[in-house]
Amino acid sequence: MKIISRFLSSVMVLFVVIGCQSDNEQSQPTSPIQKLSIQKNNEMDPAPPDNNLQDPEIEGSQPTFQLPIDEFTDRWNAITQEFGSNLFISTIKKIDQNHGDEYEAKIKDGILLRIRVSNVDVAQISMEGPTQTIDERYLLISGWSQIYLLFNPEAELHMVDSLFHDLGIEPNANLQQHKNTPVLEGKFEYKIDQTEIGHQFTATHRI
């Protein structure tokens, strides 16, 4: 699970480094999250991309995805512990829906996690939260990274970097210019939406 810690640290450093290089961005004080990310990044070398990875668009190149709802909380909390994000799930409740089963978990600091189930397996995960401050955005994006990792257990660093870039996440976790169109990766669809309280990230397994 060491790749998970390196995974999140490098994602955070990506926003910090690019932000420092941008001439149009105003300089901001380094947050505690940024300082921790920089320290971790200096202690390890990034993993090189695997050139032998198959094209995810090729049918059959990805294994069948299965994540039973009964295992969701334990797997989420295990990744949360590795990330050090403190986005633990304490309770999860089922909500009556017309289109399949849906579950909801209130995490912390106004962050809400929703899980849609199809035939006992997780089919969609969305996370919504406030994004007014840079710390709020970094915390929320760390949760989005955890969602990506749940759907892609063997993910490499460059994959989540590429996804966030394609979704329009800018330096310093700036979400103002996020794209409204979904990004497709193999059998998964990812999308960012603006909401009344901030932003929501949705990952869907296209069955």
Name the domain count of the chain: 1
The predicted structure's pLDDT at residue 99:
61
Alpha-carbon distance 62 to 152, whole Å? Answer: 10
Residue 128, φ and ψ in degrees, nearest 5: -120, 145
Residue 58 lies in a domain: no
pLDDT band at 43 (very low <50, low <70, confident <90, very high): very low
Q: Is residue 172 part of a domain?
A: yes
Q: Is residue 53 part of a domain?
A: no
Distance between CA atoms of 125 and 116, rounded to whole angstroms?
6
> End-to-end distance of the chain based on CA atoms, in angstroms?
28
* Full domain range(s) for residue 83: 2-48+63-205
Q: Tell whether 164 is covered by a domain.
A: yes
Write down the pLDDT at residue 57: 42
Residues 195/199/201/202 CA torsion (nearest 10 deg): 0
Q: What six digits make up the tokens of 2? A: 């060491």
Asked if residue 54 is part of any domain, the answer here is no
3-state secondary structure of 17: helix
Distances (CA, A) of 96 to 81, 89, 102, 125: 30, 20, 7, 16
The per-residue pLDDT for range 87-140, each reduced to its tens digit, is 999 999 988 666 668 999 999 889 999 999 988 899 999 999 999 999 999 999
What is the reported pLDDT for 6?
47
With CA atoms as reference, report the closest residue to 124 among 103, 154, 94.
103
Instruction: Determine what percent of the chain is predicted with pLDDT higher than 90.
Output: 44
Any domain includes 88: yes
